[in-house]
């Protein structure tokens, strides 16, 4: 039978009656939870299958009762715990070496215990039973491997992998540190400039005080000189020039003080922002 475009969807390469049944696995939460439930069930069954062998291992260690039950819990439980820890550490950009070493250690212990439990059975009397025992030991050894794989797959599905790597995060932090240092140097430069301007203002104040002293001397001379005399006329001219100079200096000083007021407010805001960033 030749399938034509009437039967096959050219865009998807599927029969047309199936084109509406596809699932977007990337964003399907329901499908992800179905997989998680199945994976969890397989993990529980694997631990259950390994339970008897681990109890036998506990007997070899002369452990009875509740202490014997703790052995399979510790061995297989450690595989689960360290597998989850490794995935979480990776998502946080931390080293996973220690966690994976312990996963390998407890998996090897569980595999060895399960295999030895099968191979040391007293029912092995001939070649046929030996072959069955070897095959059984292989199956038993796969139980802890299944526990590890199940845990790893489940955590991969549940834990979100960061978009940025550890190196990218470190580079971003370094760039922020550089920006912070540049900003701090800028504020320090503004503070130094403000100190320089304060010194200029002090010098101007001293000049104003000297001018005021000169003004007082002119006023005194004007009062003492006779009206219409050359000294009186010269003093009055000097007084007018001094008044004009005072007016000009007062306007310049007022404008300078307004500008410095805004600069000081700007510097205070910058310092407050830097302090908040540092905290």
Instruction: Compute CA distances 179 → 172, 174, 219, whole Å.
Output: 11, 9, 59
Residues 6 or more apart in contact with residue 266 via CB below 8 angstroms? 190
How many Å apart are CA 112 and CA 157, to the nearest integer? 29
pLDDT at 82: 84
pLDDT digits (tens, 9 = 90+) for 223-275: 666 566 666 666 667 767 777 777 777 777 777 777 777 777 777 777 777 66
* Tens of pLDDT, residues 164-220: 556 676 777 788 888 888 888 888 888 888 878 878 877 877 877 787 777 677 666
pLDDT over 60 (residue 23) = no
Gyration radius from the chain CA atoms: 44
Q: How many residues does the chain have?
A: 279
For the stretch 88-136, pLDDT in tens is: 777 777 777 888 898 888 888 888 887 887 777 656 666 666 777 777 7
Query: What is the C-alpha separation between 55 and 228, in angstroms, rounded?
Result: 128
Torsion sign, CA atoms 115, 119, 122, 126: positive
Percent over 90 (pLDDT), the chain: 0
Cβ-proximal residues to 153 (8 Å cutoff; 6+ apart), any chain: 35, 39
pLDDT in tens, 50-79: 777 777 777 777 777 777 888 888 888 888
Kindly give the residue spans of alpha helices, DSSP state H, lying in the chain: 29-60, 66-91, 97-119, 127-158, 166-224, 230-278
Q: What is the mean pLDDT of the chain?
A: 72
DSSP 8-state symbol, 15: E
Instruction: State the burial class of residue 271 (Cβ atoms within 10 Å of its Cβ: 0-12, 13-18, 19+).
Output: middle
């Amino acid at each position: 039978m030749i399938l034509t475009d009437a039967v096959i969807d050219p865009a998807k390469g599927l029969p047309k009656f199936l084109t509406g049944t596809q699932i977007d696995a990337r964003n399907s939460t329901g499908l992800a939870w179905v997989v998680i439930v199945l994976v969890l069930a397989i993990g529980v069954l694997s631990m259950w299958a390994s339970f008897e062998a681990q109890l036998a291992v506990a007997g070899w260690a002369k452990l009875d009762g509740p202490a014997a039950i703790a052995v399979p819990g510790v061995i297989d439980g450690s595989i689960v715990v360290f597998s989850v820890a490794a995935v979480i550490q990776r998502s946080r950009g931390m080293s996973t070496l220690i966690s994976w070493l312990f996963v390998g250690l407890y998996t090897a212990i569980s595999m060895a215990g399960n295999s030895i439990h099968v191979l040391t059975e007293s029912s092995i009397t001939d070649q046929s039973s030996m072959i069955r025992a070897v095959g059984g030991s292989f199956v038993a050894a796969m139980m802890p491997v299944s526990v590890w794989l199940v845990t790893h797959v489940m955590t991969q599905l549940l834990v979100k992998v960061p978009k940025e790597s550890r190196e990218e995060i470190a580079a971003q932090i370094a760039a922020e540190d550089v920006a912070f240092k540049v900003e701090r140097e800028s504020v320090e430069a503004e503070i130094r400039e403000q100190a320089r301007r304060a010194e200029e203002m002090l010098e101007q104040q001293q000049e104003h005080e000297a001018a005021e002293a000169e003004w007082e001397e002119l006023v005194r001379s004007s009062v003492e000189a006779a009206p219409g005399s050359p000294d009186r006329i010269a003093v009055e001219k000097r007084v007018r020039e001094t008044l004009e100079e005072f007016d000009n200096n007062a306007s310049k000083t007022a404008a300078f003080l307004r500008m410095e007021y805004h600069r000081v407010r700007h510097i205070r805001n910058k310092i407050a922002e830097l302090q908040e960033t540092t905290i």
